[in-house]
């Protein structure tokens, strides 16, 4: 290869990147737009599989648990709205439109990140998936998923700070002009961009809604949403107020839609800034409302229960012991620590199926509420409610009640003891 050719390539590469518009094909007017559906087999199959799994799981849940339990109507509605949003973002003509109009592309990305992702997460897809699988497979899967290595990875990924940073990185990284424009010419890169936007958004909303951000405290969660609103808003504002074209790839195609390229860029910036910002504001308000409600409930708790939350085991035994000696005895027999148990419950995600007092975010109704479990005579209707039986149930629900829909928890013996100790602090007066 001659030197001239090599230097020529280097000189031309940036020029090519800057003028990539001509190489991109997409609809050139409204009449072409409506027919431009995007039937990418991979995307369509993934969407159909997700829908099938969720439909099957939520139906089986309804059929198998007693009336009034399972997934709530609004959770199911959230999932399907999120799923439809995904279809609009990935299959409808919005996708090809984004090839030729920056503002359409921004709309697509916002639909993925601030509409589809939180809605799907609210629909409890993992619970539905567990119930969609044959029972043995579901057990095997939850056993695998709770292995120490996967648990460590998962808890690192859903650590609020990590999820926050991963989402922010993905967002800023792909908006670097050469990278953003490269996705317009390469489908694999484009898929990678969408996967990282959507995947990191799922992680972000997961950590916020079901994860430890909620458990660590509402204050952290609000900060987490607020700072995300700030930095995504900043990116939107930069695009809105830039006097020059940041993504010249759209230079030739924007005028087909009666917009100058600069207007197109400004519109894209505003879409990222305002409607997406509103979603974050709503999330922050919802968290604030949750915080106030939580504070109210906390204040309404009677003092023995309040102490049981905050002081170590000895004090719990003392206070509980005064009011109900047999419960104090039960806690003692578990040889576990209630406070450690409370943390183990938060870590193990029991709240994705149960309503459990004292555990932030544990309001699901898939399994029976564990409110007042200490007063129950039987565990799941099959085992006498005694400490050792409770521990055995927690370690291996399937072997005691083969038909139970509670999956294996993958707890260690000590965790099960601690959890049992915590559960025996849950009395109904």
Residues that bind ligand HEC (CB under 6 A): 65, 127, 130, 345, 348-350, 352-354, 366-368, 370, 373, 376, 379-381, 394, 401, 404-407, 409, 411, 419, 423
In terms of Cβ atoms closer than 10 Å to its own Cβ (0-12, 13-18, 19+), residue 316 is buried
**Which is closer to ligand HEC, CB of 132 or CB of 353?**
353
**Which is closer to ligand HEC, CB of 86 or CB of 405?**
405
Least distance from ligand HEC to the Cβ atom of residue 14, Å: 53
Least distance from ligand HEC to the Cβ atom of residue 211, Å: 14
Give 162's contacts (C-beta < 8 A, 6+ positions apart): 156
Least distance from ligand HEC to the Cβ atom of residue 131, Å: 7
CB-CB neighbours of 369 under 10 Å = 16
Instruction: Give the helix ranges, DSSP H, for 158-260.
Output: 160-174, 177-185, 187-209, 212-216, 218-241
**Which is closer to ligand HEC, CB of 233 or CB of 367?**
367
**Which is closer to ligand HEC, CB of 211 or CB of 407?**
407
**Which is closer to ligand HEC, CB of 127 or CB of 316?**
127
Least distance from ligand HEC to the Cβ atom of residue 267, Å: 44
Record the tokens describing residue 355, joined without a space: 């309503």
Is residue 138 within 8 Å of residue 408, measured between CB atoms? no
In terms of Cβ atoms closer than 10 Å to its own Cβ (0-12, 13-18, 19+), residue 55 is middle
Residue 143 CA to residue 150 CA, distance in Å, equals 10
Closest CA to 58 of 41, 43, 76, 44: 76
Least distance from ligand HEC to the Cβ atom of residue 428, Å: 12
Is residue 358 within 8 Å of residue 374, measured between CB atoms? no
Residue 358 CA to residue 421 CA, distance in Å, equals 14
Is residue 354 within 8 Å of residue 362, measured between CB atoms? yes
Phi/psi-derived region of residue 372, left when phi > 0, alpha when psi is between -120 and 50, beta in every other case = left
Least distance from ligand HEC to the Cβ atom of residue 372, Å: 9
**Which is closer to ligand HEC, CB of 190 or CB of 376?**
376
3-state class of 401 per DSSP?
A: coil
Least distance from ligand HEC to the Cβ atom of residue 337, Å: 15
Least distance from ligand HEC to the Cβ atom of residue 368, Å: 4
**Which is closer to ligand HEC, CB of 93 or CB of 338?**
338
Report the alpha-carbon angle 142-374-350, nearest 5.
Answer: 20
**Which is closer to ligand HEC, CB of 14 or CB of 381?**
381
Output phi, psi for 386, to 5 deg.
Answer: -125, 155
In terms of Cβ atoms closer than 10 Å to its own Cβ (0-12, 13-18, 19+), residue 380 is middle
**Which is closer to ligand HEC, CB of 220 or CB of 389?**
389
Longest alpha-carbon distance in the chain: 91
Least distance from ligand HEC to the Cβ atom of residue 304, Å: 22
Residue 63 CA to residue 211 CA, distance in Å, equals 28
Least distance from ligand HEC to the Cβ atom of residue 162, Å: 23
**Which is closer to ligand HEC, CB of 252 or CB of 375?**
375
Is residue 134 within 8 Å of residue 56, measured between CB atoms? no
């Amino acid at each position: 290869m001659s030197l001239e050719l090599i230097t020529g390539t280097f000189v031309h590469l940036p020029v090519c990147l800057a003028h990539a518009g001509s190489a991109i094909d997409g609809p050139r007017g409204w009449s072409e737009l409506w027919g431009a559906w995007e039937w990418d087999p991979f995307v369509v199959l993934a969407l159909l599989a997700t829908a099938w799994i969720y439909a099957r799981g939520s139906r089986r849940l309804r059929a198998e648990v007693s009336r009034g339990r399972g997934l709530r109507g609004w959770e199911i509605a959230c999932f399907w709205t999120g799923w439809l949003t995904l279809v609009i973002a990935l299959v409808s003509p919005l996708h090809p439109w984004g090839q030729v109009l920056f503002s359409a592309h921004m709309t697509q990305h916002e639909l993925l990140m601030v509409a589809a992702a939180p809605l799907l997460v609210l629909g409890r897809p993992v619970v539905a998936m567990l119930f969609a699988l044959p029972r043995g497979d579901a057990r095997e899967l939850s056993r695998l998923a709770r292995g120490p290595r996967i648990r460590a990875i998962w808890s690192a990924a859903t650590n609020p700070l990590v999820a926050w940073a991963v989402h922010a990185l993905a967002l800023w990284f792909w908006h670097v002009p050469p990278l953003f424009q490269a996705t317009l010419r390469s489908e694999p890169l484009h898929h990678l961009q969408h996967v990282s936007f959507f995947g990191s958004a799922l992680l972000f909303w997961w950590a916020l809604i079901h994860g430890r951000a909620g458990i660590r405290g509402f204050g952290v969660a609000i900060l987490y949403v607020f700072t995300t609103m700030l930095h995504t808003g900043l990116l939107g504002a930069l695009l809105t107020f830039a006097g020059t074209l940041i993504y010249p790839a759209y230079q030739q195609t924007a005028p087909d839609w009666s917009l100058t390229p600069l207007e197109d860029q400004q519109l894209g910036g505003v879409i990222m800034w305002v409607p997406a910002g509103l979603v974050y504001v709503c999330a922050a308000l919802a968290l604030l409302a949750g915080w106030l409600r939580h504070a109210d409930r906390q204040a309404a708790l009677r003092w023995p229960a309040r102490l049981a939350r905050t002081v170590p085991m000895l004090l719990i035994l003392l206070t509980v012991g005064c009011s109900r000696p047999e419960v104090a005895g039960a806690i003692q027999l578990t040889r576990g620590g209630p406070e450690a148990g409370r943390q183990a419950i938060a870590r193990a995600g029991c709240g994705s199926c149960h309503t459990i007092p004292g555990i932030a975010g544990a309001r699901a109704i898939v399994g029976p509420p564990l409110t007042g479990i200490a007063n129950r005579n039987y565990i799941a209707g099959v085992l006498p409610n005694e400490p050792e039986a409770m521990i055995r149930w927690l370690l291996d629900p399937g072997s005691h009640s083969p038909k139970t829909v509670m999956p294996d928890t993958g707890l260690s013996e000590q965790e099960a003891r601690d959890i049992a100790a915590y559960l025996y602090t849950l009395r109904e007066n």
